[in-house]
Structure 1
Amino acid sequence: MRILIVEDEEKMRTYLQRGLTEASYGVAVAGNGEDGLFMALEEDFDLLILDVMLPVIDGLEVLRRLRQRKSTPVLLLTARDSVPDKVEGLELGADDYLAKPFAYAELLARIRSLLRRSRDVGTTTLRIADLELDLVKRRVKRAGARVELTAQEFALLQLLAEREVEILTRAFITSQVWD
């Protein structure tokens, strides 16, 4: 599953990218609203983590424009923690709102929850013959035995399993698995 992080603060962006990569997610990053909006509209992501206070285009405007074309789940992750700020973000179409500072375990739980909700019921597991991919827990079993994979290996296997009847170009695979 691919996540786009749009965060202007470099330390926070790096922290999130490293943590989510270690949690076996494919991660792309953008440092301002304009780049983040472009990436969100041009590529397919399973989740967008969006800061509100961004340079060039603020996060709420990114959200407004994104909602005109896509329904990608959005988690607003911001220092703005007042009730009116939360209400505004949710009213504009955010799926969840988490104020900084936050507990990393809570962020992961919210991500898993959003990803579960964004998939149709019953599609959290992909099965092909004796291969089973748990898309929420990011686990693979073959003939009942657990298979350990890196984040990129899992992303590649998931992509191939989801599009098993399609012929995929090298450029497409690269864009989806390696950022």
Structure 2
Amino acid sequence: MKEMSLNKGIKILLVDDEPTILQFLEMGLENEGFQVLTAQDGMNAVTMVKEHQPHVVILDVMMPGMDGFEVCRMLKKIQNVATIMLTAREDVEDRVKGLTLGADDYMIKPFSFEELLARIHARIRNHYPHLLSKVHLGPFQIDDRRKEITYDGTLLELSPTEYSLLKYLVTNHGLVLSKPMILDNVWGYDFGGEENIVEVYIRSLRDKLNDRQHRIIRTLRGAGYRVDFV
């Protein structure tokens, strides 16, 4: 199943004060099958979210008047829309601020359209699994309603936590996921245990995937884990 066929009916709101960026992203996302809305300022963006209830908002930080941080804060009060923030600045403080206000992801300009598309798909799968209840990703098939994952046509015997962890890794394939990110998204923000629990479950998943060479779930020393399709 192609990603494009899954995108039909999914609404994305682009918010940026640069018309050339809006036009480029709008054209690319519409070609992928998304329904695309655009706004060039924060107040218009807030209004459009109330009226159209998009699934994903791609939000520029540096805008005149109401900046992206304030827009993000207001959007999260309206609905739990998936938000990807864009910025030309590499300041860690900016990224922390955006994520603290409720942003779900952060990208630094310039970026590739392919990476943005991958992050959009990841946000959709994590926020709206009912839209993509059965998803094919490389050799994996995730059936979220049945809480089942198959690999190369073989149904994996997974515990609920193993299912949640493998789903998180696979739907974010190609992205490096740190242990704190995994703990927050799989075990929850209030998890009080040790980070080493991630290693234990990764080891179990590798056993079930027959991934002795760590070619499917890769370890990036000091950074985290990344799923690659082989």
TM value normalised by structure 2 = 0.53
RMSD: 1.9
Matching of residues 151-166 of structure 1 within 5 Å: none
- Offset at residue 41 of structure 1 (A): 2.1
Matching of residues 48-127 of structure 1 within 5 Å: 48-120=57-129, 123-125=131-133
Secondary structure of 2:12's partner?
strand
1:124 maps to a residue whose letter is L
- Taking a change above 3 Å as real, the CA distance of residues 26 and 16 of structure 1, as seen in their structure-2 partners, is same
Output the CA distance in 2 between the equivalents of 1:112 and 1:27: 15
- Offset at residue 55 of structure 1 (A): 2.2
2:93 maps to a residue whose letter is P
Secondary structure of 2:61's partner?
coil
Secondary structure of 1:97's partner?
strand
Output the CA distance in 1 between the equivalents of 2:63 and 2:50: 17
- Taking a change above 3 Å as real, the CA distance of residues 135 and 9 of structure 1, as seen in their structure-2 partners, is farther
- Offset at residue 66 of structure 1 (A): 1.1
Equivalent pairs, count: 128
Q: 1:40 aligns with which of 49, 55, 58?
A: 49
- Offset at residue 80 of structure 1 (A): 2.1
More off after superposition, 93-102 vs 57-66: 57-66
- Offset at residue 59 of structure 1 (A): 0.8
Higher relative contact order, structure no. (Cα contacts within 8 Å, ≥ 6 residues apart): 1
- Offset at residue 48 of structure 1 (A): 0.3
Match in the other structure for 1:164: none
Secondary structure of 1:53's partner?
coil
User: What whole-Å deviation, never above 9, does each CA across 1:43-72 have from its counterpart, x for those lacking one?
Assistant: 211100000111231111011111112100
**Identity, % of aligned pairs?**
39
- Offset at residue 123 of structure 1 (A): 4.7
Larger Rg: 2
- Taking a change above 3 Å as real, the CA distance of residues 57 and 135 of structure 1, as seen in their structure-2 partners, is farther
TM value normalised by structure 1 = 0.67
Secondary structure of 2:124's partner?
helix
Structure 1 segments of 4+ aligned residues over 4 angstroms from their partners: none
